[in-house]
Amino acid sequence: MTTLELQEELAKLYNKNASHIAEDTSELINKHRQQAFEDFKRLGIPSKKNEDYRYTDLMSYLKGEYSYEIAPSKFSVDLDDLFRCDIPELDTFIVLVLNGFYYKQNNPVGLPEGVIISSFAKASIQYPEIVNRHYAKYADTKLDSLAALNTLFAQDGIFIYIPKNIKIDKPIQIINIGFSFKNLRITRRNLFVIEQDSSASLLICDHTLCPRSFITNSLTEIYTGDNASFNVIRMQNENGNSSQISNTFVYQEANSRFSSNTISLHGGLIRNNTFAKLNGEGALNKTYGIFFGDNDQHVANYTHIHHAKPHCESDQLFKGILDGNSTGAFNGKILVDKFVVKTQAYQRNNNILLSKTARMNTKPQLEIYNDDVKCSHGATVGQLDENALFYLRSRGISNQEARHLLMYAFADEVIADIKLDPLRQRMNEMIEKRLRGELARCENCKVHHLGN
């Protein structure tokens, strides 16, 4: 299959289902589809000739036979019971998304006044002013054809709204589940709006709960108002047959603090694109990630941090551990506009290759159009420190355990940044299991083998 063939197939799929796709979303969502379609047709599926996708061979993952569901899947089992997350001591406002659709229309209870956590489709009808103010404003469909594709097919996902002056201590949790009898193409669309002086944290868990292949195109738009604070921790843990392309667009107002910590534990293809625009003075952006690869996995992180106003700070840290024939890529772009002075922009990417056949491509891209900028970037690709390994072994620690300790320590720099104790502990446990070669699922998220 060529990129062109896939593009045509997807266009056909859309044309055939256009009216169904637009059925449950409001006009203010639907009105963006035409432009997105044109952008998608013009841009096509990115091939390796596309500079931003040079190291990500999308087609080798995206080809194949997939179904597409334009209505929520129905199962006789109660997913709420099956997949209740049991992170100890972590009390969250929890919502489930099944194959891209909000599962059961029961919003979490006990939310502070004015806070909304709901289905995206539903929100587009119930809260048109808020949605209209932000929807498709940050996700530039001209920048990335997969973002265009998402806007074209967008039906459901999660909408979060935190009004002014509200601090939610209890984290919000979204569990995205892929669960199907057939290989499935999934589209997810999220919109998170954190208004001025508010703060919240969000945990997103991506799971596939059966061995089918899923191709997920997920797009999230995030707005942080003046002096708002938003922290997103994301754990990607899908089966090795599945592909996930995630576009996250963050728009930050003055003095807002946004941080994300993406833990890519497992998956066939994981491609994360993060676009952040620091559009108010004093904004702070932290984009962190740790990824693990083995077998034939590919994990790519692409960042695009745009300093559009002075006195902002951005900090990127991505670390990767690759084994087997896995490949990884980091492409980190920092863009500082003219006159955007007193900018601080940092970027670091460190990688460990555990096998001779694992490969990592790392590329910083700095575009800085003024002199009053403090900027640093650095990338390393190496092996585990032999001296440290020998030191540990000389104390009676087995080679395997010593390697394990060093990998765990390597990941710790990223994980240590997670502020919520129980969550950090759980992530540590998951990483530990991952490094030991056990699939790191939460206790209640078991793989369910479905018959055909």
Partner 1 sequence: MLNIKNLHVAIEGKEILKGIDLTVKLGEIHAIMGPNGSGKSTLAAVLAGRDLYEVTEGEVTFEGEDLLELSPEDRARKGIFLGFQYPVEIPGVSMVNFMKTAINEQRKFNNLQPISATDFLKLMREKKEVVEITSNLTNRSVNEGFSGGEKKKNEIFQMAMLDPKLAILDETDSGLDIDALRIVANGVNKLRREDNATIVITHYQRLLEHIIPDYVHVLYRGKIVKSSGKELALELEEKGYDWLKEE
CA 97, 99, 101, 106 torsion-angle sign: negative
Q: Which one among 388, 422, 428, 433 touches partner 1, defined by CB under 8 A?
A: 388
Residue (134 or 434) nearer to partner 1, CB: 434
Taking CB under 8 A as the criterion, the residue among 410, 420, 426, 430 binding partner 1 is 410
Residue 230 φ/ψ, nearest 5 degrees: -140, 130
Q: Is 367 exposed, middle or buried (0-12, 13-18, 19+ CB in 10 A)?
A: exposed
Q: Nearer to partner 1 by C-beta: 127 or 318? A: 318
Q: Minimum distance from CB of 412 to partner 1 (Å)? A: 4
Contact map string, positions 340 to 379, toward partner 1, x by CB under 8 A:
----------------------------------------
271: left (phi over 0), alpha (psi -120 to 50) or beta: beta
* Residue 380 found at the interface with partner 1 (CB under 8 A): no
Work out whether 384 is an interface residue with partner 1 (CB under 8 A): no
CB nearer to partner 1: give 67 or 380: 380
Contact between 397 and partner 1 by CB under 8 A: the answer reads: yes
SS3 289: strand
Binding test (CB under 8 A) with partner 1, winner from 355, 376, 380, 398: 398
SS (HEC) of 312-381: CEEEEEEEEEECCCCEEEEEEEEEECCCCCCEEEEEEEEEEECCCCCEEEEEEEEEECCCCEEEEEEEEE
Q: For partner 1, which stretch binds (CB under 8 A), given 127-135, 287-295, 386-394, 444-452?
A: 386-394
Give the C-alpha separation, 184 to 52, whole Å: 26
418 near partner 1 (CB under 8 A): no
Q: Does 390 bind partner 1 (CB under 8 A)?
A: yes
Among 129-137, 230-238, 370-378, 410-418, the segment contacting partner 1 (CB under 8 A): 410-418
Stretch that binds partner 1, among 143-151, 191-199, 357-365, 383-391 (CB under 8 A): 383-391
Cβ-based neighbour number of residue 6 at 10 Å:
17
Judged by DSSP in three states, 54 sits in coil
Contacts of 217 (CB under 8 A, 6+ apart): 146, 149, 150, 153, 185, 186, 187, 188, 245
d(CA 242, CA 247): 17
Pairing state of beta strands 343-353 and 199-208?
Answer: unpaired
Least distance to partner 1, CB of residue 413, Å: 7
For residues 103 and 97, give the distance between their C-alpha atoms in angstroms, rounded to a whole number: 5
Near partner 1 by CB under 8 A: residue from 15, 76, 394, 452:
394
Please report how close the Cβ of residue 387 comes to partner 1 at its closest, in angstroms.
Answer: 5
Give the shortest CB-400-to-partner 1 separation in angstroms: 10
d(C-alpha 43, C-alpha 150), whole Å: 13
State the minimum distance, in angstroms, from the CB of residue 401 to partner 1.
6
Distances from the Cα of 228 to the Cαs of 270, 288, 317, in angstroms?
29, 19, 22
**Minimum CB–partner distance for residue 433 and partner 1 (Å):** 17
Q: If binding is defined by CB under 8 A, does position 165 make contact with partner 1?
A: no
CB of 415 to partner 1, least distance (A): 10
Please report whether residue 385 would count as binding partner 1 according to CB under 8 A.
Answer: yes
Q: Which of 49, 74, 338, 395 binds partner 1 (CB under 8 A)?
A: 395
List interacting residues with partner 1 (CB under 8 A). 385-388, 390-399, 401-402, 405-406, 408-410, 412-413
